């Protein structure tokens, strides 16, 4: 395991998680955060990750982004459906 690479992936995950909060433009960043999370977890394995807190926050933000995006899509779909009736 290359600890420097794992730390960089963890910090990148956090950055992408924050950028994912930007409406519409943030979708690719949300996906990138999830990919960085998966890579960092795979590379770290069972060893200690000094930037684990950043990694957890990054994936937490990405999941929050996903939930907010899903809620927005549902609300917009319901509004459009009701407007067409």
Residues of the chain predicted below pLDDT 70: none
What distance lies between CA 76 and its chain's CA centroid?
22
pTM for the model stands at 0.86
CA distances from 66 to 30, 40, 44, 72 (A): 7, 20, 25, 10
pLDDT value of residue 63: 96
The reported pLDDT for the residue numbered 80 is: 95
Q: Give the count of domains, the chain.
A: 1
Give dist(CA 44, CA 19) in Å, integer.
24
Contacts for 33 with CB less than 8 Å, ≥ 6 apart: 13, 14, 16, 17, 20, 58, 59, 61, 62, 65
């Amino acid at each position: 395991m290359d600890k420097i690479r794992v730390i960089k992936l963890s910090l990148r995950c956090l950055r992408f998680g924050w950028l994912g909060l930007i409406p519409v433009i943030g979708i690719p960043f949300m996906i990138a955060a999830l990919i960085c999370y998966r890579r960092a977890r795979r590379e770290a394995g069972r060893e200690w990750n000094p930037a684990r807190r950043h990694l957890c926050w990054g994936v937490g933000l990405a999941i929050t982004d996903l939930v907010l995006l899903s809620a927005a899509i549902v609300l917009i779909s319901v509004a459009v459906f009701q407007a067409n009736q």
